[in-house]
Copies of this chain bind each other. A is one copy, B any other.
Amino acid sequence: MTSKKLLPEKTGDMSDWYTTLIQLADLADYGPVKGTMIFKPYGYAIWEQVQKTLDKSIKEKGVENVYFPMFIPMSFLEKEKSHVEGFAPELAVVTHGGGEKLQEPVVVRPTSETIMYSSFSKWVHSWRDLPILINQWGSVVRWEKRTMPFIRTSEFLWQEGHTAHATHEEAKAMQEWAMKTYSDLYKEYFAMSGYVGYKSKAETFAGADTTLSYETMMPSGKVLQSCTSHDLGQNFAKAFDVKFQDQNSIDTYVWQTSWGLSTRSIGGLILAHGDNNGLRLPPKLAPVQIAIVPVRAEDKMLDYCKEISDVLTSINVRVKTDARGDSSFGFRLNRWEVKGAPLIFKIGEKEVEAQTITVKRRDTQEEVTLDRKNLVDDVKKLLDEIQSTMLLQSKTFIEENTREAKNYDEFKKILAEHKGYIKVYWNDNPDIEKKIKEETKAKSSCSPIDWPEGNGVDFFTGEPATRQWLFAQSY
């Protein structure tokens, strides 16, 4: 950044605040090809924290990592009808390779169902070959018209899990395991509350029977689909002929799932927790959990900073001392405020002499003084407190912004006054959803899995309805 722009206030649709903050906090930059982005070290380091945690959960479940080619023959996509309809408008197509025109154009993967399941058909023969449990870390390409860094880019990073099972029950359990793993990750690490629920017919993944999603709400009141887990039924199995001989020697199609969480999650993190002063990162995902900022680069202060830093590093706290000579104390404090370090340590002569540390909590802006002697215990306690405070804020915000509507008039009135979630009884119907979206810009978010059925009235048609849904405007 040459000329650092000031951070605008986080109000309205917050797009100016958002894009300015991404640059100021050194998270990302725009790529030269329209809609692409560059993950700078600080932004990528957040993703590495996510990867480390999620990869561990995935491996513990017995899912193994693989890597499939990024190039998929166009003909593969065409095998599953609704899949190709869903993805065709967003494909990047390679027509030339090695100086020659290709005989068959290939697409850069928008997702890997088709290329993976073509292999599954070769790998699976008997019930003993099942389940197949694989996962891939990589990038995918969906050529988007309207883009927004992290939230929607032409190329993004993600993991995609793909499994094949002998029974539908097993596949359903896998779909649910993936969503449970994701929602735990969002709550415990991102400190982001949300609803787990089924997507409407119109919003279900192209080729799936059902899609589970984690739906979070941003301070603008718009919601973000934060990751998805699909029950693919036997749709792809039939398209790609993935069959096995069961224990009675009968040929049966496998039951499949796929599930993914992407760098979009980091966009959600920025939007959900950032404030007028910059980022606020939850301790469990912050690349730098504590920024140690000495007033000046004097030996006495630097020694004290090093001592503190060594103690904290030894208990695996991620610490960075910022004594960069080209910037003032105030500038350096502000740098870590903008970058959202959960704790900022201010170290001056006073602190060195008294063997204390002046600490700023980034989440609440409170300042406290710690005793050097109790440093380890106090730091652990503070980081835990910040993590849980941020989750509680998120939970409260969503609860306060979930409102009920009995009919379409109430629905429109709430939308005009509040945004946020609107809870309604509704009979899932794609034509009606389309109409609502055209009229209000809101669409269904999900039907939460832990909401029981009831005897209600469809808010749009007035007919009897048993399932409750959340509607909202969304990213």
Partner-B contacts on A (CB < 8 A):
2, 29, 31-33, 36-41, 44-45, 47-48, 64-73, 76, 88-99, 106, 108, 115, 118-119, 122, 125-126, 128, 134, 138-139, 141, 143-145, 154-155, 157, 324-326
Rounded to whole angstroms, the CA-CA distance of A124 and B334 in the bound complex is 21
Residue contact B88 to A66, C-beta cutoff 8 Å: no
Distance from A143 Cβ to chain B, minimum over Cβ atoms (Å): 3
Rounded to whole angstroms, the CA-CA distance of A139 and B157 in the bound complex is 12
Distance from A246 Cβ to chain B, minimum over Cβ atoms (Å): 14
Contacts known (A45-B64, A68-B38, A69-B31); A99 close to B95, Cβ less than 8 A: no
Q: Within the complex, which residue of B38, B108, B128 is in contact with A94, where a contact is CB–CB below 8 Å?
A: B108
Residue contact A125 to B2, C-beta cutoff 8 Å: yes
* Complex A-B: 29 CB contacts under 8 Å: A29-B119, A29-B122, A31-B69, A31-B71, A31-B115, A32-B69, A32-B73, A36-B69, A37-B69, A39-B67, A41-B65, A44-B65, A44-B67, A47-B67, A48-B65, A67-B139, A70-B70, A70-B108, A89-B98, A90-B98, A91-B97, A92-B96, A92-B98, A95-B95, A95-B96, A98-B145, A108-B108, A128-B324, A138-B138
Distance from A72 Cβ to chain B, minimum over Cβ atoms (Å): 7
Q: Within the complex, which residue of B65, B97, B325 is in contact with A143, where a contact is CB–CB below 8 Å?
A: B97
Residue contact B68 to A41, C-beta cutoff 8 Å: no
Rounded to whole angstroms, the CA-CA distance of A64 and B46 in the bound complex is 12
Q: Within the complex, which residue of B41, B76, B141, B326 is in contact with A66, where a contact is CB–CB below 8 Å?
A: B41
Residue contact B96 to A38, C-beta cutoff 8 Å: no
Contacts known (A33-B73, A72-B33, A73-B32); A98 close to B94, Cβ less than 8 A: no
